[in-house]
């Protein structure tokens, strides 16, 4: 029996990137049908009273996911492939948002210094996916923000008032969307399937509310 998974992502987020690689790892063993959806951290986290530096940060942050939003409208079946290729260019060895590249900086500083590199990573991702590189023009297109907001609105709420807080946000067989799980690395071998089965059980339990570990979080192992 196939399980339908709806996964909301922002390609710039290293935590969502790790979790998405875990989900891809268990697609075959568990039997998942994954639908990918864009979600913008630049929209979710922007505040009207942000200073000029932070407003610039949020605007750059929206670039790659705007391209994904354009693809979601044009060819949603290719969105998972595009997320993979853009993610590999952003978070892989030498990528502008790779953990080793941003070590010692806060994430905002890494993004602010990397606008052009992020644009090139996005365009390279389109090319590697065999998709029209012209979609890269949407990187700076604010009209894509309405598409992103519509994607946010499609997160199932389970009939409750729901505040979206970040990526990954995942729904299992139509369950209310959950933020997380946040993983520091892809669990190896059978642990990947064990972790998925545990998460899926909680995601589909209406009584489940929150599970959280409070500790110093290590950097994500993006490669």
- Assess if residue 213 is contained within a domain: no
- Assess if residue 210 is contained within a domain: no
- Assess if residue 220 is contained within a domain: no
Mind listing the pLDDT tens digit for each residue in 18-62? Answer: 999 999 999 999 999 999 999 999 999 998 899 999 999 999 999
- Assess if residue 208 is contained within a domain: no
Domain that holds residue 91: 3-203
| DSSP codes, the chain | -PEEEEEEE-TT-HHHHHHHHHHHHHIIIIIEEEEEEE--HHHHH--TT--HHHHHHHHHHHHHHHHHHHHHHH-GGGHHHHHHHHHHHHHSTT-TT-HHHHTTS-HHHHHHT-HHHHHHHHHHHHHHTT--GGGGGGGG-TTHHHHHHHHHHTS--TTS------S-EEEETTPPPEE----SSPPPTHHHHHHHHHHHHHHT-TT-------SPPPPP---
Find the CATH number of the domain harbouring 145.
3.40.30.10
Number of folded domains that form the chain: 1
Mind listing the pLDDT tens digit for each residue in 73-84? Answer: 999 999 999 999
- Assess if residue 33 is contained within a domain: yes
């Amino acid at each position: 029996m196939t399980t339908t998974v709806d996964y909301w992502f922002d390609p710039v987020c290293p935590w969502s990137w790790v979790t998405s690689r875990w989900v891809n790892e268990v697609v075959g063993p568990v039997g998942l049908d994954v639908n990918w959806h864009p979600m913008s951290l630049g929209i979710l986290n922007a505040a009207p009273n942000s200073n000029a530096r932070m407003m610039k940060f949020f605007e750059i942050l929206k670039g790659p996911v705007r391209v994904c939003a354009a693809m979601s409208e044009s060819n949603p079946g290719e969105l998972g492939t595009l997320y993979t290729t853009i993610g590999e260019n952003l978070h892989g060895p030498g990528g502008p948002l790779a953990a080793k590249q941003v070590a010692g900086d806060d994430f905002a500083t890494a993004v602010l210094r990397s606008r052009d590199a992020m644009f090139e990573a996005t365009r390279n991702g389109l090319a590697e996916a065999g998709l029209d590189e012209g979609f890269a023009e949407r990187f700076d297109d604010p009209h894509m923000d309405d598409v992103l907001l519509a994607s946010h609105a499609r997160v199932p709420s389970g009939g409750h008032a729901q505040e979206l807080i970040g990526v990954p946000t995942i729904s299992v067989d139509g369950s209310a969307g959950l933020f997380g799980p946040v993983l520091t690395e892809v669990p190896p071998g059978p642990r990947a399937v064990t972790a998925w089965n545990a998460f899926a059980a909680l995601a589909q339990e209406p009584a489940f509310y929150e599970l959280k570990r409070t500790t110093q979080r290590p950097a994500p192992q993006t490669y």
